[in-house]
Amino acid sequence: MAKIPSSEITDKRFYLNRRAFIASALAAAGASAIVNPELHAQQPAAHGRRLATTKSALSGSDTPNTWEQLTTYNNFYEFGTSKSDPALNARGFKPKEPWTITIEGECAKRGTLTLEDVLKGQTLEDRIYRHRCVEGWSMVIPWTGFPLAALIKRCEPTSRAAFVEFTTLLDRRQMPGQGTDVLQWPYVEGLRMDEAMHPLTILAVGLYGETLPNQNGAPLRLVVPWKYGFKGIKSIVKVRFLEKQPVSSWQIAWPQAYGFYANVNPAVAHPRHTQAVEARLPSLFQRTKTLPFNGYGDQVASLYAGMDLQRNY
């Protein structure tokens, strides 16, 4: 049997005890206060470094989920497939210093940039965005980041660049989920150039004005608020400009369920989950109607004028 470090055993015990406690507390409370137990199954992330930020005019005004909720309920399959796995398994992840991003493809400035280079002279903004996962839950997340457009301009894409592809770090030693075949690794996502240049599209480096916790995609991840959460690729190490539409890891895994566009659309059901309603976490049963483009339609619907969004899901 593989040796389990004692720290992990302690974590596991903490987790199981906490679960049992929550289960009995829920039973005692009756069915009235149904909170998702996975939201409390792990310790929240340690706080990061405070960033110098300004509030963005593009920030929403919904009340954000708590730090605890946002750092204990995650999808990051590199660290396991259950919502509470990343908080536990990403704890030891050490993003390489300096973090480098390779710039490839149809652009003048191919090469590598460090994250420090990218952030030099860049204003960091706080933006509260709604987040909708295709699985039917939603949260409100106070990101800290900057427009993806700022990085793209600096790469000087050629006139042939019609799409941008992003790739997550591949590191089997630090990312145990990459030893499984739930997805093709490394995780790959993409955007059409106009989507990538849209002012709502950001690269996030922080949460609540502090550096990103590992489980949320440290040190750099994509956020596209009108699309399903899976477009928001984490721990990005490569940006590539392409003439043709790239193929994402989720399209490879299940093309009927995960399209390239992935615009939030209550009228197009996923084979396993309705998209008409969502559960706003932490409550599992407080359902609200899902809005087209996750409520950002006024700002982005024109990008898709004339497109059949039933076919281009």
What's the closest the beta carbon of residue 186 comes to ligand MTE, in angstroms?
A: 8
Burial, 55: exposed, middle or buried (Cβ in 10 Å; 0-12, 13-18, 19+)? exposed
Among 53, 56, 65, 75, binds ligand MTE (CB under 6 A): 75
CA gap 110, 102 in Å, rounded: 8
Nearer to ligand MTE, 107 or 262 (CB): 262
Cα dist. 251→183, 259, 308 in Å?
A: 10, 6, 18
Q: Is 36 in the site for ligand MTE (CB under 6 A)?
A: no
Nearer to ligand MTE, 78 or 106 (CB): 78
Q: Is 136 in the site for Mo ion (CB under 5 A)?
A: no
The long-range contacts involving 89-92, CB below 8 angstroms and separated by at least 24 positions, are 89/176, 89/177, 90/213, 90/214, 90/215, 91/11, 91/214, 92/174
187, interface contact from Mo ion, ligand MTE, none, CB < 5-8 Å by kind: ligand MTE
What's the closest the beta carbon of residue 108 comes to ligand MTE, in angstroms?
A: 28
Query: Which helix (H) or strand (E) covers residue 239, if one does?
Result: strand 236-242
Q: Is 137 in the site for Mo ion (CB under 5 A)?
A: no
Q: Is 229 in the site for Mo ion (CB under 5 A)?
A: yes
User: How many residues contact Mo ion, by CB under 5 A?
Assistant: 4
76, interface contact from Mo ion, ligand MTE, none, CB < 5-8 Å by kind: ligand MTE
Among 69, 72, 74, 251, binds ligand MTE (CB under 6 A): 74
CA gap 294, 266 in Å, rounded: 9
Q: Is 107 in the site for Mo ion (CB under 5 A)?
A: no
Among 216, 248, 251, 294, binds ligand MTE (CB under 6 A): 216
Q: Is 178 in the site for ligand MTE (CB under 6 A)?
A: no
Nearer to ligand MTE, 130 or 198 (CB): 130
CA gap 107, 193 in Å, rounded: 13
The long-range contacts involving 297-300, CB below 8 angstroms and separated by at least 24 positions, are 297/226, 299/198, 299/200, 299/226, 300/195, 300/198, 300/200, 300/226, 300/263
Q: Is 230 in the site for Mo ion (CB under 5 A)?
A: yes
Q: What one-letter code names the amino acid at 120?
A: K
What does the binding site for ligand MTE look like in residue numbers (CB under 6 A)? 74-78, 131, 133, 168, 187, 216-217, 229-230, 232-235
